[in-house]
Amino acid sequence: MTRPSRLLAPEGFAAVEESGILLVRADLEGAARALALHAAGPWEEAVASSREGPGRGARGRIEFPGGPVAVAKRMRRGGILAPVWRDRFARVPRLLENLATPREAAARGIATAAPLALFLLEGPPRLWRAWLAVEEIPAAEDLETRLGGGRRAEQDEIAAALSLVRRAHDAGIEHRDLNLGNVLVRRPPSGRPEAFLVDLDRARLHGGPLGFWKRAAAIRRLERSCLKRLGASGPLGRDPGALLRSLYAAGDPALASRFRALRPLDRALIALHRLRWS
């Protein structure tokens, strides 16, 4: 079998092949070797230290000597296949998208976390496990933390997040796992909030702007995330979708009108999901 690093290593990344295959940004190769990131042990140790625990959302930190700080996670499947496949992947190109997709998103003007390294470990029967490291965004928090924490997000921070999601859709980026956990916000000293779209491993890149139905489905998913993670008594109230759609459609009355016309369907679909949650 042709080694994946020989086939598909992205431009600007170096390949280190020992117990597994490490693809690391070329300027960090020496630091990665010093940290022994060409083996699974340091990755597992980093993720094990996560405050979120060992689940799919667990993230640890890796400090590259003389370089950036990375957020590391073990790649796991979501959806209905998660109990079966867990952390196993059959297609290496699918895993390598974790390096290519964020770089393309950044090239399209979308703020995200830059990929730094990907470690691939082959196991029987020709299935792969993977760990990913992306550059840490200092002082940024995800929307779930910001909305549910002690210092609640201001409306301009939520507006910055929804504006970013809309710009991503305009740029043809479909984040198929959009939720409160993969939109980050921070307020720098300048005072104007900044937003970042992360966890793009399931994102799909299109050649042009997304159509209305894909946009509507994305905002509905974000609304479900609000209700599921924060509850109906959360900071956005029992109908968080109204605010989310208003901020997303800001400056576009025609889009806002289409969203309003779709609300009965949105509510019915969310009610079905509520049955699953219970």
Q: Which of 135, 152, 174 is the last residue of a domain?
A: 135
CA 274 to chain centre: 24
Strands 204-205 and 141-142: unpaired
Averaged over 143-165, what is the pLDDT?
A: 85
Q: Are residues 131 and 158 in the same domain?
A: no
Say yes or no: 49 and 111 in one domain: yes
Judge if 130 and 150 occupy the same domain.
no
Q: Which contiguous run of DSSP H or E holds residue 183?
A: strand 183-186
Does residue 127 sit in the same domain as residue 145?
no
User: Burial, 83: exposed, middle or buried (Cβ in 10 Å; 0-12, 13-18, 19+)?
Assistant: exposed
Instruction: Check residue 89 and report its DSSP letter.
Output: B
- Looking at the structure, tell me whether residues 171 and 101 fall in a common domain: no
Q: What is the mean pLDDT of residues 26-35?
A: 95
Determine the Cα–Cα distance for residues 14 and 68; give it in Å rounded to an integer.
17
Same domain, 228 and 213: yes
155 and 272: one domain? yes
Chain centroid to Cα 265, Å, comes to: 27
What digits encode the pLDDT tens for the residues 52-83? 544 446 789 999 998 899 999 998 876 555 55
Domain range enclosing 30? 13-135
> Quick one: 34 and 18 in the same domain?
yes
Task: Count CA atoms within 13 Å of residue 44 on its CB side.
Answer: 7
Same domain, 24 and 55: yes
Neighbours of 155 (CB within 10 A): 11
Regarding whether 263 and 219 lie in a shared domain, the answer is yes
CATH number at residue 186: 1.10.510.10
On whether both 127 and 161 belong to a single domain, the answer is no
Q: 125 burial class (0-12, 13-18, 19+ CB within 10 angstroms)?
A: exposed
Same domain for 122 and 24? yes
Phi, psi of 218 (to 5 degrees): -65, -45
**Tokens matching residue 109:** 């003007």
Number of separate domains in the chain: 2
36 in a domain, yes or no?
yes
For 86-141, how does the pLDDT look when each residue is reduced to its tens digit (9 = 90+)?
788 888 888 899 999 999 999 999 999 999 999 999 877 778 999 999 999 999 99
Mean pLDDT, residues 176-182 taken together: 92
| pLDDT score for 229 | 86
Computed over every residue of the chain, the mean pLDDT equals 87
